[in-house]
Each structure stands twice: as C-alpha cells, then as structure tokens.
Copies of this chain bind each other. A is one copy, B any other.
Amino acid sequence: MGNETETRERLLEVAKQEFLELGYEKASMRKICKKAGVTTGALYFFFKDKNDLFAALVKEVADEIKMIIVHHTQKEQTIYEDAKTTPQAIIADGIEQGRDFVTYMYANKDAFMLLLTKANGSSYENFYDELVDLMEKNTLQFLDHITLEYGKENEIKPYTMHWLAHLETSSFAQLLTHGLTLEEALIQAEVIAKYLTGGWLEILKK
C-alpha cells in the first residue's frame, strides 16, 4: 500500500499538531493514534515511548541550535584574541549572531515552538535553560574581554551574567512565541541588539 515509512511520517505530523496544541503532558498517545488512523501498537513500533515521539520532532533542531551557539562562541573567541579587532567589529558580530539565530529559529518554527513552550514534562523541559547556559558562556567571554580592556572597577556578579544571558535568550525566543513574522523579527532583533548594548554600557560605567 506504499505505507512503508509513510505511517511514521503521518504519526509525526499528527503528534506535532497535538503537542503544539496541548503541550507534552496533556497530549494523549491514544488520541494521536486515532487521528493518525493507526493503532497504539504501530506507534510503539516506531517510537519507544511518549518522550521518544516528542524527541523525534525536536532532537535534530535542539542539537543543531546548540552547536550553532557553541560555534559562534568559538568564533567570537578568535575575534577577541585578534589584536586588531575593533569594538565595532564585536558589535557587528553580535548582530550577525542574532540574525543567524533568528533565521534558524524561523526555519524550524514548529520545533522551536515545541521546545520553548510545549516541552514541559518531557526530557526537553530544560531546553530553554540549556540555551541560556550556552549563551552565558558567550557573554562571560565577552565580559572577560571587556574587563581586560577597561579594567575591573565595576564588578559584574555571576548572577548578573546569568540574568543577562536570560534576557538575551528570552528576547529572541519571544519573537517566535509572540507570533512575529520573520521580517518583523529580523527588524526587532536589531532593536534588541541596540537595547542590550546600551544596557551593557550603562552597567560597565564607573
């Protein structure tokens, strides 16, 4: 009947709708089966449990975005190490990172919606926090660099760093969860960059 892996795809599609609509916990495996026109046995042939089903919708994207952030952190590291780097270059790079992040997010809209707002109860319920942690390393690097340049009169506490990472992460995440289009989001990303830069300058002032 040409079913082959078609069943799997159908299950994934239906599951995505259910998870998006109800969230991980309230979504029902039985209802997913029913809507996909498939028996529970079939579902459990393809996916070992509820979490595995959710992961199948989300894993690839979750892994890749983390890699993207890590890569960016590494790349920034080299920029900082370059003696000839100007402040403008750093800012420009930050803006570019924002654009990349937003673009990737929007290219994988559904997966990000699941990860950011519908994963409660699943093994991805801490995805957002993990993102923040990665962002934090990014920011810490920046701070170290700044401190070298400007001296350490202004002590920035660890918590502050964590909070700023939150600020940045959630600012980007909200673009998607609040329903902006990609075009709107890219424009807004610039505003975010501007605002956060202004904030930094203020707290770094002596």
Would you list which residues of chain A between 140 and 174 have a CB under 8 Å from chain B? 157, 159-160, 162-164, 166-167, 170-171, 174
| A188, B203: Cβ atoms closer than 8 Å | no
Neighbour of A188 across the interface among B160, B166, B184, B195, CB < 8 A? B160
> Which B residues touch A202, using CB under 8 A?
194-195, 197-199, 201
Would you list which residues of chain A between 115 and 140 have a CB under 8 Å from chain B? 120
Neighbour of A159 across the interface among B170, B184, B194, B196, CB < 8 A? B184
Least Cβ–Cβ distance between A178 and chain B, in angstroms? 7
Q: Copy number in this complex? A: 4
User: Chain A 180-198, CB within 8 Å of chain B: the 1/0 string?
Assistant: 1000100010011011111
> Which B residues touch A191, using CB under 8 A?
157, 160, 203
Neighbour of A199 across the interface among B166, B178, B184, B196, CB < 8 A? B196
| B163, A171: Cβ atoms closer than 8 Å | yes
Least Cβ–Cβ distance between A139 and chain B, in angstroms? 13
Q: Which residue of B has the minimal Cβ distance to A184?
A: B159
Neighbour of A203 across the interface among B163, B166, B194, CB < 8 A? B194
Knowing that A159-B178, A160-B191 touch, tell me 7 more A-B residue pairs with CB under 8 angstroms: A25-B25, A159-B184, A159-B188, A194-B202, A195-B202, A195-B203, A199-B199
